[in-house]
Amino acid sequence: MAVVTSMPLTFPERQPQADVKTLQREEASNAADERARRWTAAIGRGDETAFRELYDSYRDRVFRLALVIGRGDDDLAHETVQSVFLTAASKLRRVESEAHLWNWLARVARQQIGKTWRQIGRNSAIVPMAELPECSRAEQSDSELEEKLDAALLHMDPEETQLIEWFYFDRLSHKEIAAQLRLTPKAVSSRLERARARLKLFLARQTRHDA
């Protein structure tokens, strides 16, 4: 007669969901840090592919930041983006983390906008000094400034918000937007101009409120 010895069943412990999410965030953060180190080291060697990857990854975020600091001045924001990445191509070297990389880009953006405003100030015969925007308070973090843009967009009409997002962040042309809305490119241009004006108004109000 065979004797069967019973053995206790064991099951692997299930990790709490919060721990799994924390682990996933840490892995994503480590991957982002490694990518930032790889990009900057390669850019320092003149690697154009690494520069293009950096530009594609951070262009919209730099633009959003510059748009808020510049109180909705999209021309200034575009100029700032170009200046930031031209500076990155010539001066960006090794960084320790993704946060280090973003802080470097954001600092260059702030410096460029400040430089532009100082140049305008020197030409005060054209623009009165009282009308010049002040640089955002140093204690405001970049995330707080980006939240201002999100808040401004939420206060706008949905159609205006969609136009801003299509044109600036999805990079659709007037013709492509016109096809989406079944309008003429000229009509899209007029609507976009009104949306830009309202965005600048909301951002200016937020800045005055903070002051």
More confident residue, 207 or 100: 100
For the chain, domains (ranges, CATH) are: 32-125 (1.10.1740.10), 141-211 (1.10.10.10)
Q: How far is CA 130 from CA 71, 134, 184, in A?
A: 15, 10, 39
Q: Percent helix, strand and coil across the chain, each rounded to 5?
A: 75, 0, 25
pTM score of the predicted model: 0.69
Between CA 105 and CA 91 the distance in angstroms is 11
Has residue 113 got a pLDDT over 80?
yes
DSSP annotation of 97? S
- pLDDT, tens digit (0-9, with 9 covering 90-100), for 43-91: 999 999 999 999 999 999 999 999 888 888 888 999 999 999 999 999 9
At 127 the pLDDT is 47
At 124 the pLDDT is 52
Q: Which long-range contacts (CB under 8 A, 24 or more apart) does 165-168 make?
A: 167/192, 168/60, 168/63, 168/67, 168/74
Q: Which 3 state secondary structure label does DSSP give 125? A: coil
- pLDDT, tens digit (0-9, with 9 covering 90-100), for 118-164: 887 766 555 444 444 444 444 456 777 778 888 888 888 899 989 98
Six-digit token string for 159: 């159609």
Nearest to 191 by CA among 161, 148, 152, 171: 161
- pLDDT, tens digit (0-9, with 9 covering 90-100), for 153-205: 888 889 998 998 898 888 899 999 999 999 999 999 999 999 988 888 888 77
